[in-house]
A = this chain, B = another copy of it.
Amino acid sequence: MGEFDLIERFFKRPPTRADVGIGDDCAIWSPRPGHQLAVSADMLVEGRHFLSTVEPRRLGHKALAVNLSDLAACGAQPQAFLLSLSLPRADEAWLQGFSEGLFKLADEHACELIGGDTTQGPLNIAITVLGDVPVGQSILRSSAQVGDDLYVSGHVGDARLALEAFRGHVSLPQAVFEQARLRMETPAPRVALGQALRGIAHGMADISDGLLGDLKHILNASHVGAEIDLVATKTLMGTSSLWPCPEDLAMTCVLSGGDDYELVFTTSPAAAAQVQSVAQATRTRITRIGCITASPGIVLRDDRGQAVDCHFPSFDHFASP
């Protein structure tokens, strides 16, 4: 199977919204009037972002999900994506599963594959997503304000727990492992939530490198600090109801785990009711974990309100695993 057969067979579909889709030198796209473009690119490398044993279907899902999560974090609506795929060989079964997982998620978000590249080489998946957002309504990292409430969507830490199990650092009950593995392999990007928070959230980011690390991006860009209530963060792990996770491990997973693809965001305390409405409308768990302060840095407070020392490095792709 050659390069063009491969594209034709697994990836080419009739254009829906694109003026010109796959098959020319460029895709041609007409942005919607009154909208700005939101663009993001993420690359997944075998052994670094996923294990070689992952089901191709789940990998196809995840490769697009991590990109859609970036759109969600800006309040943008997904529109289209480009896929650049380097493969050791044209393995039909793999391509079948991968493309199915990819398109299932793409279709859920009406996000159209409009171009890309296919080549031979070590397994590498690079996706660029295009979304749009009404002019001036994107939610940036730089707009958090002192006094804001600090919120996190969904569950955080379970993906890291699965990784610790895969690495043999912890032995998990089967039900815990299965649930954590699902969170690691098929994250659900918070696309509806991101858009629903337009006009409500001040600063927002998605959690890909760990809660504290991604929160720091907001704090640095907004020139503010944060206080975090550890009692609230302990409730963030989805698997915590299934077993007595050791406290150190739970804190590491929640605060610096990464691979969560939840949203961390800040809002005015006056918007608390709106946040609850959005949570209900989008059927999303939203937890208040603290507030934004004027003094730089992050202070963690325990159940007695005491500041706790914190050494949770966020994920760095050039640090050793």
Contact = CB atoms under 8 A, between A and B. Distances in A.
Interface of A: 1-4, 6, 19-20, 23-31, 36-43, 45-49, 69-71, 73-74, 76, 80, 82-86, 89-90, 114-122, 124, 126, 128, 130-131, 133, 135, 138, 140-142, 204-206, 221, 316-319
Q: Which of A1, A43, A74 has most chain B Cβ within 10 Å?
A: A43
A196 to B, nearest CB: 16
A76 B26 CA distance: 9
Nearest to A126: B126
Contact of A86 (B1, B38, B124): B124
B318 A89 contact: yes
Given A25-B205, A124-B124, A318-B89, A119 B39 contact: no
B119 A121 contact: no
A304 B41 CA distance: 53
B45 A36 contact: no
A28 B24 contact: no
A128 B37 CA distance: 14
A122 B120 contact: no
Contacts of A38: 26-29
11 contacts: A2-B319, A24-B142, A25-B141, A25-B205, A31-B37, A37-B130, A41-B84, A41-B116, A43-B124, A84-B84, A120-B317
